[in-house]
Structure 1
Amino acid sequence: MAALFRGYRNFYKRSNKHVELSLVSYRSMASKTPVGFIGLGNMGTPMARNLLKHGYPVIATDVFPESFKELQDSGAQILDCPAEVADKADRIITMLPSSPNVIEVYTGPNGILKKVKKGTLLIDSSTIDPAVSREMAIAAEKMGAVFMDAPVSGGVGAASLAKLTFMVGGVEEEFNAAQELLTSMGANAVYCGQVGSGQVANLLYCYFLAIAVSPLATTVKIP
Protein backbone atom coordinates (compact mmCIF):
# COMPACT_ATOMS: atom_id res chain seq x y z
CA MET A 1 0.00 0.00 0.00
CA ALA A 2 2.86 2.38 0.86
CA ALA A 3 4.39 1.76 -2.57
CA LEU A 4 1.04 2.51 -4.18
CA PHE A 5 0.81 5.86 -2.39
CA ARG A 6 4.40 6.71 -3.34
CA GLY A 7 3.59 5.95 -6.97
CA TYR A 8 0.55 8.20 -6.87
CA ARG A 9 2.58 10.98 -5.21
CA ASN A 10 5.21 10.73 -7.96
CA PHE A 11 2.48 10.91 -10.60
CA TYR A 12 1.03 14.00 -8.89
CA LYS A 13 4.44 15.70 -8.86
CA ARG A 14 5.01 14.90 -12.51
CA SER A 15 1.53 16.19 -13.32
CA ASN A 16 2.37 19.55 -11.76
CA LYS A 17 5.74 19.64 -13.48
CA HIS A 18 4.24 19.10 -16.92
CA VAL A 19 0.86 20.77 -16.61
CA GLU A 20 2.06 23.97 -18.26
CA LEU A 21 3.51 21.99 -21.15
CA SER A 22 0.30 20.03 -21.50
CA LEU A 23 -1.66 23.24 -21.93
CA VAL A 24 0.60 24.55 -24.66
CA SER A 25 -0.86 24.14 -28.13
CA TYR A 26 1.44 22.58 -30.66
CA ARG A 27 -1.24 22.62 -33.33
CA SER A 28 0.27 25.59 -35.14
CA MET A 29 3.46 23.56 -35.55
CA ALA A 30 1.69 20.31 -36.35
CA SER A 31 2.65 18.44 -39.46
CA LYS A 32 -0.58 17.46 -41.20
CA THR A 33 0.77 14.22 -42.64
CA PRO A 34 -1.58 11.20 -42.37
CA VAL A 35 -2.21 9.72 -38.94
CA GLY A 36 -3.11 6.06 -38.59
CA PHE A 37 -5.87 5.10 -36.18
CA ILE A 38 -6.70 1.52 -35.22
CA GLY A 39 -9.71 0.71 -33.06
CA LEU A 40 -12.94 2.48 -33.98
CA GLY A 41 -15.10 1.65 -30.99
CA ASN A 42 -17.03 3.98 -28.70
CA MET A 43 -13.83 5.80 -27.72
CA GLY A 44 -11.74 5.44 -30.86
CA THR A 45 -14.28 6.85 -33.30
CA PRO A 46 -14.71 10.25 -31.59
CA MET A 47 -10.96 10.47 -30.98
CA ALA A 48 -10.23 9.89 -34.66
CA ARG A 49 -12.98 12.32 -35.62
CA ASN A 50 -11.29 15.03 -33.55
CA LEU A 51 -8.06 14.45 -35.45
CA LEU A 52 -9.99 15.04 -38.67
CA LYS A 53 -11.46 18.23 -37.21
CA HIS A 54 -7.94 19.51 -36.55
CA GLY A 55 -6.90 18.92 -40.13
CA TYR A 56 -5.11 15.59 -39.86
CA PRO A 57 -5.78 13.13 -42.69
CA VAL A 58 -6.77 9.88 -40.94
CA ILE A 59 -6.08 6.36 -42.22
CA ALA A 60 -8.00 3.86 -40.11
CA THR A 61 -9.05 0.27 -39.66
CA ASP A 62 -11.03 -1.90 -37.27
CA VAL A 63 -11.83 -5.59 -37.02
CA PHE A 64 -15.55 -4.80 -37.29
CA PRO A 65 -16.48 -3.37 -40.72
CA GLU A 66 -19.71 -1.87 -39.38
CA SER A 67 -17.64 0.56 -37.29
CA PHE A 68 -16.07 2.13 -40.40
CA LYS A 69 -19.02 4.05 -41.80
CA GLU A 70 -19.23 7.02 -39.44
CA LEU A 71 -15.55 7.86 -39.73
CA GLN A 72 -15.46 7.16 -43.44
CA ASP A 73 -18.35 9.58 -43.95
CA SER A 74 -16.29 12.17 -42.04
CA GLY A 75 -13.44 11.83 -44.53
CA ALA A 76 -11.17 9.10 -43.20
CA GLN A 77 -9.52 6.57 -45.50
CA ILE A 78 -10.33 3.00 -44.46
CA LEU A 79 -7.88 0.13 -45.01
CA ASP A 80 -8.18 -3.61 -44.46
CA CYS A 81 -5.71 -4.28 -41.65
CA PRO A 82 -3.18 -2.69 -39.25
CA ALA A 83 -0.23 -3.65 -41.47
CA GLU A 84 -1.70 -1.61 -44.33
CA VAL A 85 -2.12 1.37 -42.01
CA ALA A 86 1.51 1.06 -40.93
CA ASP A 87 2.57 1.06 -44.56
CA LYS A 88 0.83 4.41 -45.14
CA ALA A 89 1.34 6.36 -41.90
CA ASP A 90 4.35 7.18 -39.74
CA ARG A 91 2.24 8.17 -36.71
CA ILE A 92 -0.27 5.59 -35.49
CA ILE A 93 -2.68 5.66 -32.56
CA THR A 94 -4.33 2.51 -31.21
CA MET A 95 -7.40 2.38 -28.94
CA LEU A 96 -8.27 -1.24 -28.20
CA PRO A 97 -10.29 -3.18 -25.59
CA SER A 98 -7.64 -5.37 -23.95
CA SER A 99 -4.04 -6.58 -23.75
CA PRO A 100 -4.62 -9.54 -26.14
CA ASN A 101 -6.11 -7.15 -28.70
CA VAL A 102 -3.06 -4.90 -28.47
CA ILE A 103 -0.68 -7.84 -28.88
CA GLU A 104 -2.58 -9.04 -31.95
CA VAL A 105 -2.78 -5.60 -33.58
CA TYR A 106 0.93 -4.95 -33.10
CA THR A 107 2.53 -8.37 -33.54
CA GLY A 108 -0.10 -10.53 -35.31
CA PRO A 109 0.13 -11.81 -38.92
CA ASN A 110 -1.42 -8.58 -40.22
CA GLY A 111 -0.10 -6.43 -37.40
CA ILE A 112 1.49 -3.01 -37.37
CA LEU A 113 5.03 -4.34 -36.92
CA LYS A 114 4.81 -6.35 -40.15
CA LYS A 115 5.10 -3.16 -42.22
CA VAL A 116 6.04 -0.43 -39.76
CA LYS A 117 8.55 2.10 -41.07
CA LYS A 118 11.65 3.17 -39.18
CA GLY A 119 11.02 6.24 -37.08
CA THR A 120 7.26 5.65 -36.84
CA LEU A 121 5.66 6.95 -33.64
CA LEU A 122 3.23 4.42 -32.13
CA ILE A 123 0.87 5.67 -29.41
CA ASP A 124 -1.32 3.15 -27.60
CA SER A 125 -4.25 4.67 -25.68
CA SER A 126 -5.71 1.31 -24.65
CA THR A 127 -5.95 0.52 -20.93
CA ILE A 128 -3.80 -2.60 -20.60
CA ASP A 129 -1.21 -4.39 -18.48
CA PRO A 130 1.91 -2.19 -18.14
CA ALA A 131 4.03 -5.27 -18.85
CA VAL A 132 2.37 -5.61 -22.26
CA SER A 133 3.16 -1.97 -23.01
CA ARG A 134 6.81 -2.65 -22.26
CA GLU A 135 6.77 -5.78 -24.45
CA MET A 136 5.31 -3.81 -27.37
CA ALA A 137 7.93 -1.09 -26.89
CA ILE A 138 10.73 -3.65 -27.14
CA ALA A 139 9.18 -5.21 -30.25
CA ALA A 140 8.73 -1.79 -31.84
CA GLU A 141 12.29 -0.75 -31.04
CA LYS A 142 13.60 -3.83 -32.87
CA MET A 143 11.83 -2.52 -35.98
CA GLY A 144 13.21 0.99 -35.53
CA ALA A 145 9.89 2.43 -34.31
CA VAL A 146 9.00 4.28 -31.08
CA PHE A 147 6.17 3.03 -28.83
CA MET A 148 4.48 5.11 -26.12
CA ASP A 149 1.60 4.17 -23.83
CA ALA A 150 -1.01 6.91 -23.37
CA PRO A 151 -4.14 5.62 -21.62
CA VAL A 152 -6.91 8.09 -20.91
CA SER A 153 -9.11 9.32 -18.10
CA GLY A 154 -12.55 10.34 -19.27
CA GLY A 155 -15.31 8.45 -21.03
CA VAL A 156 -17.14 8.67 -24.33
CA GLY A 157 -18.44 12.16 -23.58
CA ALA A 158 -14.94 13.46 -22.92
CA ALA A 159 -13.68 11.74 -26.06
CA SER A 160 -16.39 13.42 -28.14
CA LEU A 161 -15.62 16.86 -26.69
CA ALA A 162 -11.82 16.40 -26.86
CA LYS A 163 -11.62 16.70 -23.06
CA LEU A 164 -9.63 13.54 -22.34
CA THR A 165 -6.52 13.50 -20.18
CA PHE A 166 -3.69 11.33 -21.51
CA MET A 167 -1.14 9.77 -19.14
CA VAL A 168 1.94 9.17 -21.25
CA GLY A 169 4.82 6.75 -20.79
CA GLY A 170 7.83 6.50 -23.08
CA VAL A 171 11.01 8.25 -24.16
CA GLU A 172 10.73 11.82 -22.87
CA GLU A 173 12.34 13.24 -26.01
CA GLU A 174 9.35 11.94 -28.00
CA PHE A 175 6.75 13.48 -25.69
CA ASN A 176 6.31 16.71 -27.67
CA ALA A 177 5.69 14.78 -30.88
CA ALA A 178 3.05 12.68 -29.12
CA GLN A 179 1.55 15.72 -27.41
CA GLU A 180 0.97 17.37 -30.78
CA LEU A 181 -1.56 14.66 -31.59
CA LEU A 182 -2.92 14.04 -28.11
CA THR A 183 -3.90 17.66 -27.52
CA SER A 184 -6.08 17.46 -30.62
CA MET A 185 -8.06 14.72 -28.90
CA GLY A 186 -7.90 15.84 -25.28
CA ALA A 187 -7.46 18.70 -22.84
CA ASN A 188 -4.24 17.50 -21.21
CA ALA A 189 -1.29 15.22 -21.86
CA VAL A 190 0.89 14.45 -18.83
CA TYR A 191 4.31 12.80 -19.11
CA CYS A 192 4.58 10.11 -16.41
CA GLY A 193 7.93 8.42 -17.11
CA GLN A 194 9.24 5.52 -19.13
CA VAL A 195 7.10 3.06 -21.11
CA GLY A 196 4.41 1.52 -18.89
CA SER A 197 4.29 4.53 -16.54
CA GLY A 198 1.18 5.85 -18.23
CA GLN A 199 -0.62 2.58 -17.54
CA VAL A 200 0.54 2.58 -13.91
CA ALA A 201 -0.61 6.19 -13.43
CA ASN A 202 -3.99 5.34 -14.93
CA LEU A 203 -4.40 2.35 -12.63
CA LEU A 204 -3.55 4.52 -9.62
CA TYR A 205 -6.00 7.16 -10.76
CA CYS A 206 -8.78 4.57 -11.05
CA TYR A 207 -7.83 3.06 -7.68
CA PHE A 208 -8.02 6.34 -5.78
CA LEU A 209 -11.17 7.35 -7.64
CA ALA A 210 -12.79 4.11 -6.48
CA ILE A 211 -11.72 4.84 -2.89
CA ALA A 212 -13.21 8.33 -3.11
CA VAL A 213 -16.50 7.11 -4.54
CA SER A 214 -17.03 4.05 -2.33
CA PRO A 215 -18.17 5.96 0.83
CA LEU A 216 -20.79 7.72 -1.28
CA ALA A 217 -22.02 4.39 -2.61
CA THR A 218 -22.46 2.98 0.89
CA THR A 219 -24.58 5.95 1.99
CA VAL A 220 -27.00 5.79 -0.93
CA LYS A 221 -30.37 4.44 0.14
CA ILE A 222 -32.27 2.39 -2.38
CA PRO A 223 -36.04 3.02 -2.10
Structure 2
Amino acid sequence: MSSVVAFVGLGHMGGPMAAHLVRAGHRVAGYDLVPDCLAAASAAGVEPARSAADAVAGADVVISMLPAGRHVLALYRQEGALAAARPGTLFIDCSTIDVADARAAHEAAVAAGHRSLDAPVSGGVVGAEAATLTFMAGGGEAEFAAAEPYLSLMGRRVVHCGAAGAGQAAKICNNMILGVSMIAVSEAFVLGESLGLSHQALYDVASAASGQCWALTVNCPVPGPVPTSPANRDYRPGFAAPLMAKDLGLAASALRAGGVSAPLGEKAAELYAAFAAGDGAGQDFSGIVRAIRERKDGEPA
Protein backbone atom coordinates (compact mmCIF):
# COMPACT_ATOMS: atom_id res chain seq x y z
CA MET A 1 0.00 0.00 0.00
CA SER A 2 1.43 3.35 -1.06
CA SER A 3 2.31 5.86 1.65
CA VAL A 4 3.67 9.39 1.82
CA VAL A 5 7.21 9.33 3.18
CA ALA A 6 9.30 12.35 4.14
CA PHE A 7 13.04 11.77 3.82
CA VAL A 8 15.42 14.31 5.34
CA GLY A 9 19.11 13.89 4.53
CA LEU A 10 19.67 12.82 0.92
CA GLY A 11 23.43 12.36 0.81
CA HIS A 12 25.46 9.29 -0.20
CA MET A 13 23.33 7.07 2.05
CA GLY A 14 19.97 8.82 2.20
CA GLY A 15 19.67 9.49 -1.53
CA PRO A 16 19.79 5.84 -2.61
CA MET A 17 17.62 4.79 0.32
CA ALA A 18 14.92 7.28 -0.66
CA ALA A 19 15.13 6.13 -4.28
CA HIS A 20 14.31 2.55 -3.24
CA LEU A 21 11.13 3.78 -1.56
CA VAL A 22 10.14 5.63 -4.73
CA ARG A 23 10.73 2.51 -6.81
CA ALA A 24 8.50 0.56 -4.42
CA GLY A 25 5.62 2.91 -5.21
CA HIS A 26 5.72 5.29 -2.26
CA ARG A 27 5.43 9.02 -2.70
CA VAL A 28 8.62 10.49 -1.19
CA ALA A 29 9.05 14.16 -0.30
CA GLY A 30 12.70 14.92 0.37
CA TYR A 31 14.86 17.67 1.80
CA ASP A 32 18.59 18.27 2.04
CA LEU A 33 20.64 21.39 2.71
CA VAL A 34 22.94 20.56 -0.23
CA PRO A 35 21.31 21.51 -3.55
CA ASP A 36 23.23 18.85 -5.51
CA CYS A 37 21.95 16.11 -3.20
CA LEU A 38 18.41 17.37 -3.56
CA ALA A 39 18.77 17.52 -7.34
CA ALA A 40 20.14 13.96 -7.53
CA ALA A 41 17.27 12.66 -5.40
CA SER A 42 14.77 14.56 -7.53
CA ALA A 43 16.16 12.82 -10.63
CA ALA A 44 15.39 9.51 -8.89
CA GLY A 45 11.76 10.51 -8.32
CA VAL A 46 11.91 12.18 -4.90
CA GLU A 47 9.73 15.29 -4.70
CA PRO A 48 11.97 18.17 -3.51
CA ALA A 49 10.70 20.22 -0.57
CA ARG A 50 11.68 23.79 0.32
CA SER A 51 12.35 22.89 3.96
CA ALA A 52 12.33 19.95 6.31
CA ALA A 53 9.02 21.09 7.76
CA ASP A 54 7.48 21.24 4.28
CA ALA A 55 8.67 17.70 3.56
CA VAL A 56 7.18 16.41 6.80
CA ALA A 57 3.77 18.04 6.48
CA GLY A 58 1.27 15.39 5.41
CA ALA A 59 3.70 12.48 5.63
CA ASP A 60 2.78 9.12 7.12
CA VAL A 61 6.41 8.33 7.93
CA VAL A 62 9.44 10.58 8.43
CA ILE A 63 12.90 9.08 7.85
CA SER A 64 16.09 10.98 8.62
CA MET A 65 19.72 10.23 7.76
CA LEU A 66 21.86 12.97 9.26
CA PRO A 67 25.49 13.41 10.37
CA ALA A 68 25.15 13.73 14.16
CA GLY A 69 22.77 13.83 17.10
CA ARG A 70 22.64 17.61 17.16
CA HIS A 71 21.30 17.60 13.62
CA VAL A 72 18.55 15.11 14.49
CA LEU A 73 17.52 17.10 17.56
CA ALA A 74 17.58 20.33 15.54
CA LEU A 75 15.40 18.72 12.87
CA TYR A 76 12.86 17.66 15.46
CA ARG A 77 12.86 20.93 17.40
CA GLN A 78 14.28 24.06 15.76
CA GLU A 79 13.48 23.06 12.17
CA GLY A 80 9.91 22.26 13.14
CA ALA A 81 9.57 18.68 11.97
CA LEU A 82 7.67 17.54 15.06
CA ALA A 83 5.39 20.56 14.95
CA ALA A 84 4.69 20.18 11.23
CA ALA A 85 3.84 16.49 11.37
CA ARG A 86 0.34 15.12 11.77
CA PRO A 87 -0.42 13.53 15.16
CA GLY A 88 0.86 9.98 15.43
CA THR A 89 3.40 10.26 12.60
CA LEU A 90 6.10 7.60 12.71
CA PHE A 91 9.59 9.12 12.96
CA ILE A 92 12.46 6.77 12.00
CA ASP A 93 15.96 8.09 12.49
CA CYS A 94 18.57 6.10 10.55
CA SER A 95 21.51 8.32 11.53
CA THR A 96 24.33 6.98 13.67
CA ILE A 97 24.30 9.13 16.81
CA ASP A 98 24.97 8.99 20.53
CA VAL A 99 22.62 6.73 22.49
CA ALA A 100 21.68 9.63 24.78
CA ASP A 101 20.78 11.79 21.77
CA ALA A 102 18.70 8.96 20.30
CA ARG A 103 16.75 8.67 23.53
CA ALA A 104 16.31 12.46 23.70
CA ALA A 105 14.97 12.47 20.14
CA HIS A 106 12.60 9.64 21.01
CA GLU A 107 11.32 11.50 24.08
CA ALA A 108 10.82 14.69 22.06
CA ALA A 109 8.84 12.84 19.39
CA VAL A 110 6.62 11.06 21.91
CA ALA A 111 6.03 14.28 23.86
CA ALA A 112 4.86 15.90 20.62
CA GLY A 113 2.33 13.09 20.07
CA HIS A 114 4.28 10.98 17.58
CA ARG A 115 5.82 7.51 17.36
CA SER A 116 9.57 7.02 17.23
CA LEU A 117 12.22 4.46 16.28
CA ASP A 118 16.01 4.70 16.07
CA ALA A 119 17.22 2.51 13.20
CA PRO A 120 20.89 3.07 12.30
CA VAL A 121 22.34 1.01 9.46
CA SER A 122 25.33 -1.11 8.58
CA GLY A 123 26.45 -1.72 5.01
CA GLY A 124 27.76 1.62 3.79
CA VAL A 125 27.10 3.31 0.47
CA VAL A 126 27.28 0.01 -1.42
CA GLY A 127 24.56 -1.41 0.84
CA ALA A 128 22.43 1.69 0.46
CA GLU A 129 22.64 1.52 -3.32
CA ALA A 130 21.95 -2.22 -3.46
CA ALA A 131 19.26 -2.22 -0.72
CA THR A 132 21.29 -4.73 1.30
CA LEU A 133 21.64 -2.68 4.49
CA THR A 134 21.19 -4.10 7.98
CA PHE A 135 18.93 -2.00 10.20
CA MET A 136 19.31 -2.10 13.99
CA ALA A 137 16.12 -0.78 15.51
CA GLY A 138 15.33 0.58 18.96
CA GLY A 139 11.79 1.37 20.10
CA GLY A 140 8.47 -0.24 20.90
CA GLU A 141 7.14 -3.42 19.31
CA ALA A 142 4.29 -1.59 17.60
CA GLU A 143 6.62 1.08 16.21
CA PHE A 144 9.00 -1.58 14.92
CA ALA A 145 6.15 -3.46 13.23
CA ALA A 146 5.01 -0.25 11.54
CA ALA A 147 8.53 0.63 10.38
CA GLU A 148 9.65 -2.79 9.19
CA PRO A 149 7.89 -2.73 5.79
CA TYR A 150 9.70 0.51 4.89
CA LEU A 151 13.07 -0.60 6.23
CA SER A 152 12.80 -3.91 4.38
CA LEU A 153 12.61 -2.01 1.10
CA MET A 154 15.98 -0.42 1.83
CA GLY A 155 17.79 -3.34 3.44
CA ARG A 156 18.20 -7.07 3.60
CA ARG A 157 17.99 -7.52 7.38
CA VAL A 158 15.97 -5.63 10.00
CA VAL A 159 16.63 -6.46 13.66
CA HIS A 160 14.64 -5.21 16.64
CA CYS A 161 17.29 -4.67 19.33
CA GLY A 162 15.13 -3.39 22.19
CA ALA A 163 13.77 -0.14 23.56
CA ALA A 164 14.60 3.39 22.42
CA GLY A 165 18.35 3.81 21.92
CA ALA A 166 19.02 0.08 21.59
CA GLY A 167 19.54 0.37 17.84
CA GLN A 168 22.28 2.94 18.38
CA ALA A 169 23.80 0.79 21.12
CA ALA A 170 23.98 -2.18 18.74
CA LYS A 171 25.48 -0.02 15.99
CA ILE A 172 28.37 1.35 18.04
CA CYS A 173 29.12 -2.10 19.50
CA ASN A 174 29.14 -3.62 16.00
CA ASN A 175 31.40 -0.92 14.62
CA MET A 176 33.80 -1.21 17.54
CA ILE A 177 34.20 -4.86 16.54
CA LEU A 178 34.69 -3.81 12.92
CA GLY A 179 37.23 -1.10 13.69
CA VAL A 180 39.31 -3.33 15.95
CA SER A 181 39.18 -6.24 13.48
CA MET A 182 40.23 -4.06 10.53
CA ILE A 183 43.26 -2.87 12.49
CA ALA A 184 44.12 -6.46 13.43
CA VAL A 185 43.77 -7.66 9.82
CA SER A 186 45.87 -4.74 8.56
CA GLU A 187 48.60 -5.38 11.12
CA ALA A 188 48.66 -9.05 10.14
CA PHE A 189 49.17 -8.19 6.45
CA VAL A 190 51.96 -5.74 7.31
CA LEU A 191 53.59 -8.40 9.49
CA GLY A 192 53.21 -10.91 6.65
CA GLU A 193 54.93 -8.47 4.28
CA SER A 194 57.89 -8.18 6.64
CA LEU A 195 58.15 -11.97 6.77
CA GLY A 196 58.07 -12.38 2.99
CA LEU A 197 54.52 -13.76 2.89
CA SER A 198 52.41 -12.83 -0.12
CA HIS A 199 49.04 -11.16 0.39
CA GLN A 200 47.30 -13.97 -1.47
CA ALA A 201 48.90 -16.70 0.64
CA LEU A 202 47.91 -15.03 3.89
CA TYR A 203 44.38 -14.44 2.60
CA ASP A 204 44.01 -18.04 1.42
CA VAL A 205 44.97 -19.30 4.87
CA ALA A 206 43.20 -16.78 7.12
CA SER A 207 39.97 -16.67 5.10
CA ALA A 208 39.55 -20.42 5.62
CA ALA A 209 40.86 -20.54 9.18
CA SER A 210 40.24 -18.93 12.56
CA GLY A 211 41.28 -15.47 11.30
CA GLN A 212 38.24 -15.28 9.03
CA CYS A 213 36.18 -12.07 9.46
CA TRP A 214 34.29 -9.49 7.40
CA ALA A 215 37.25 -7.09 7.43
CA LEU A 216 39.27 -9.78 5.68
CA THR A 217 36.87 -11.52 3.31
CA VAL A 218 34.69 -8.58 2.19
CA ASN A 219 36.73 -5.41 2.80
CA CYS A 220 40.26 -6.82 2.55
CA PRO A 221 42.70 -3.95 3.24
CA VAL A 222 45.25 -4.93 0.56
CA PRO A 223 44.75 -5.09 -3.23
CA GLY A 224 44.30 -8.42 -4.94
CA PRO A 225 42.63 -11.10 -2.84
CA VAL A 226 39.13 -9.53 -2.85
CA PRO A 227 38.63 -7.73 -6.19
CA THR A 228 35.59 -5.76 -4.97
CA SER A 229 37.31 -4.29 -1.89
CA PRO A 230 38.17 -0.55 -1.83
CA ALA A 231 41.88 -1.47 -1.70
CA ASN A 232 41.59 -2.17 -5.45
CA ARG A 233 40.21 1.34 -6.06
CA ASP A 234 43.00 3.25 -4.27
CA TYR A 235 40.88 3.09 -1.08
CA ARG A 236 38.01 5.18 -2.37
CA PRO A 237 35.13 4.75 0.13
CA GLY A 238 33.17 2.45 0.77
CA PHE A 239 32.85 3.30 4.37
CA ALA A 240 34.92 6.42 4.85
CA ALA A 241 37.56 6.60 7.57
CA PRO A 242 36.01 9.75 9.13
CA LEU A 243 32.74 7.85 9.59
CA MET A 244 34.56 5.01 11.31
CA ALA A 245 36.35 7.57 13.48
CA LYS A 246 32.99 9.09 14.38
CA ASP A 247 31.46 5.71 15.29
CA LEU A 248 34.46 4.67 17.37
CA GLY A 249 34.36 8.04 19.10
CA LEU A 250 30.75 7.35 20.06
CA ALA A 251 31.78 3.92 21.34
CA ALA A 252 34.67 5.40 23.34
CA SER A 253 32.33 7.96 24.92
CA ALA A 254 29.91 5.18 25.85
CA LEU A 255 32.77 3.16 27.34
CA ARG A 256 33.82 6.05 29.53
CA ALA A 257 30.24 6.87 30.55
CA GLY A 258 29.60 3.25 31.50
CA GLY A 259 32.92 2.70 33.24
CA VAL A 260 33.70 -0.19 30.87
CA SER A 261 37.32 -1.21 30.36
CA ALA A 262 37.95 -1.84 26.64
CA PRO A 263 41.53 -0.90 25.78
CA LEU A 264 41.32 -2.24 22.22
CA GLY A 265 38.19 -0.23 21.48
CA GLU A 266 39.74 2.92 22.93
CA LYS A 267 42.97 2.40 20.99
CA ALA A 268 41.05 1.82 17.77
CA ALA A 269 39.21 5.11 18.33
CA GLU A 270 42.53 6.89 18.84
CA LEU A 271 44.11 5.37 15.70
CA TYR A 272 41.14 6.12 13.48
CA ALA A 273 40.80 9.68 14.80
CA ALA A 274 44.41 10.36 13.82
CA PHE A 275 44.04 8.62 10.44
CA ALA A 276 40.81 10.46 9.56
CA ALA A 277 42.33 13.81 10.53
CA GLY A 278 45.27 13.25 8.16
CA ASP A 279 45.78 11.22 4.99
CA GLY A 280 42.71 9.09 5.63
CA ALA A 281 40.23 11.97 5.36
CA GLY A 282 39.08 10.87 1.91
CA GLN A 283 39.88 7.18 2.13
CA ASP A 284 38.00 4.03 2.99
CA PHE A 285 38.51 2.92 6.58
CA SER A 286 40.54 -0.06 5.31
CA GLY A 287 43.19 2.46 4.25
CA ILE A 288 44.38 2.34 7.87
CA VAL A 289 46.76 -0.36 6.57
CA ARG A 290 48.78 2.42 4.95
CA ALA A 291 49.20 4.24 8.24
CA ILE A 292 50.23 0.99 9.95
CA ARG A 293 52.72 0.20 7.20
CA GLU A 294 54.26 3.67 7.36
CA ARG A 295 54.84 3.69 11.10
CA LYS A 296 58.51 3.49 11.95
CA ASP A 297 59.80 0.69 14.17
CA GLY A 298 59.32 1.69 17.75
CA GLU A 299 57.24 4.74 16.90
CA PRO A 300 54.22 5.14 19.19
CA ALA A 301 50.96 4.12 17.54
TM normalised by structure 1 equals: 0.83
- Cα displacement (A) at 1:74: 2.1
Matches within 5 A, 1:1-223: 31-108=1-78, 110-221=79-190, 222=293
> How many Å separate the matches in 1 of 2:30 and 2:49?
6
Please, what is the CA RMSD of the aligned residues? 1.3
- Distance in 2 between the 1:58 and 1:36 partners? 6
Q: SS state of the match for residue 198, structure 1?
A: helix
Q: By how many angstroms is 1:212 displaced?
A: 2.3
The 3-state SS of whatever aligns with 1:211 is helix
Which amino acid is the alignment partner of residue 10 of structure 2? Answer: L
Question: 1:111: how far off?
Answer: 2.6
Deviation at 1:213, TM superposition (A): 2.4
**How far apart in 2 are the matches of 1:74 and 1:217?**
38
* Cα distance in 1 for residues equivalent to 2:185 and 2:106: 39
2:226 maps to none
Contact kept? 2:152, 2:158, Cα under 8 Å: yes
On the 8 A contact 2:31/2:55 being kept in 1, the answer is: yes
Deviation of the 1:114 alpha carbon: 2.2
CA gap 1:140/1:212 in 2 versus in 1, 3 angstroms: same
User: Per-residue deviation at 1:136?
Assistant: 1.0
Where in structure 2 are there 5+ consecutive unaligned residues? 191-292, 295-301
Could you give the per-residue CA deviations for residues 143-198 of structure 1, whole angstroms, max 9, x where no partner exists?
11011100001110110000000000001122121000000000010000001000
Q: Aligned letter for 1:205?
A: N
Q: Return the alpha-carbon distance in structure 2 between the equivalents of residues 64 and 46 of structure 1.
A: 15
In the aligned structure 1, how far is the partner of 2:72 from the partner of 2:2? Answer: 26
Percent identity over the alignment is: 38
Deviation readout 1:72-119 (Å, 9 max, x if unpaired): 1222211111111221202010000111111111111x3311212111
Structure number with greater Rg is 2
Structure 2 counterpart SS, 1:183: helix
Q: Which amino acid aligns with 1:71?
A: A
What are the Cα deviations for residues 28-85 of structure 1, in whole angstroms up to 9, with x where unaligned?
xxx3121110001100000001111111110110111221112212222111111112
Give unpaired runs (5+ residues) of structure 1. 1-30
Aligned residue type for 2:125: V
Aligned to 2:117, what secondary structure does the other structure show?
Answer: strand
Whole-angstrom distance in 2 between the partners of 1:196 and 1:143: 18
2:42 is paired with a residue of what secondary structure?
helix
Query: Residues 116 and 143 of structure 1 are in contact (CA less than 8 Å); yes or no, is this contact kept in structure 2?
Result: no
SS of equivalent residue, structure 1 residue 220: helix
Whole-Å separation in 1 of the counterparts to 2:122 and 2:144: 18
Contact 2:116–2:143 (8 Å) recurs in 1: no
Q: Distance in 1 between matches of 2:160 and 2:35?
A: 34
Tell me, yes or no, if the aligned pair for 1:134 and 1:196 is still in contact at 8 Å.
Answer: yes
Runs of 4+ in 1 over 6 A off after TM superposition: none
| 2:83/2:112 contact within 8 Å kept | no
Q: TM-score, normalised by structure 2?
A: 0.62
Equivalent-residue separation in structure 2 for 1:48 and 1:75 (angstroms): 9
